[in-house]
Amino acid sequence: MDNGETRGDQYDDESEDYVGYWQGRDYEHAAEIAAVKRLIGRDGARYGLVCEVGGGFGRLSPVLKEYADRVMMFDPSAKHVGIAQRLLADQPGVTAHLMRPGQIPLEDGEADLVSMIRVMHHLPDPGPTLREIARVLKPGARALIEVANSAHMLNKLRYAKRLRTVPRQPVDIRSAEKVAEGSIPFVNHHPDTVVEQFTAAGLRVEEKLSVSNMRSGRLKQSVGEERLLAVEQRIQSPLAALNFGPSLFFLLRRGGARP
């Protein structure tokens, strides 16, 4: 399976519209903001430098800045970085930069927090990227990493009907056509495997949240996004132990003395 690190420029294609992708996804966006704030604001934490890996067009950069002196957003797509620079121009202390896939242009131990959200699903083998995150973190500093969850409740039920269990290896959910085209990988990860990969990179799990637990067009229409979000915020923590939702947010800490 190809590693997404080799295809970081796919979003430069004119046919890709990641900004447009988020139109009509207010519930998912708000659910992720709630998770980010809960995790990085834990214990009243405040950060000097936040490194945002694969930040796209800067969707979450202003949220991260609420808890930091500086946010440096990196993305391998020149198109995304250009959009982010325009959208974030009025955000003091927030900058957007181009990066090579899998290479964070920071010194060892420079960052107080690394955030990587909606990137793991492009990494069939996330090990090198996780080690790179650990490299740029100060000893004892934190990372916030989101994982597309292959073992969410609906998927467990699908496998159970066939008397099978969810595989531990990454599951590529691209269509056969996309695979033939050589498009960027799109994989879901098993949380148990990911935790092992975190540990191997020197990152220890402090807290986990289950996010976008009620992601359903039917529920959005019948219940309303505001009510869904109110419930979402209450259940992100208790449902985490079940790996219930399609997205898992991990707060991790690098080994070593705290900064």
Residue 49 lies in a domain: yes
- Does any domain span residue 244? yes
What is the pLDDT, as a whole number, of residue 257? 64
Q: 138 with 110: CB under 8 angstroms?
A: yes
In a domain, 135, yes or no: yes
Mean pLDDT estimate for the chain: 93
pLDDT digits (tens, 9 = 90+) for 33-87: 999 999 999 999 999 999 999 999 999 999 999 999 999 999 999 999 999 999 9
**Residue 114, domain member (yes or no):** yes
Domain contains 259? no
**Spatial separation of the C-alpha atoms in residues 160 and 251, rounded to whole Å:** 30
Domain assignment present for 14: yes
- 119 assigned to some structural domain: yes
CB of 45 closer than 8 Å to CB of 23 = no
Domain contains 17 = yes
Residues 6 or more apart whose CB falls under 8 angstroms from that of 67 comprise 40, 41, 45, 46, 47, 50, 113
- How do residues 80-114 score in pLDDT, each as one tens digit? 999 999 999 999 999 999 999 889 999 999 999 99
Mean pLDDT confidence for 213-222: 87
Return the higher-pLDDT residue of 180 and 67.
Answer: 67
Domain CATH number, residue 159: 3.40.50.150
Range(s) of the domain holding residue 106: 4-253
How much of the chain, in percent, has pLDDT values that exceed 70? 94
Give the count of domains, the chain: 1
- Residues in CB range of 113: below 8 A, 6 or more apart: 40, 47, 49, 50, 51, 64, 67, 68, 137, 141, 142, 143, 144
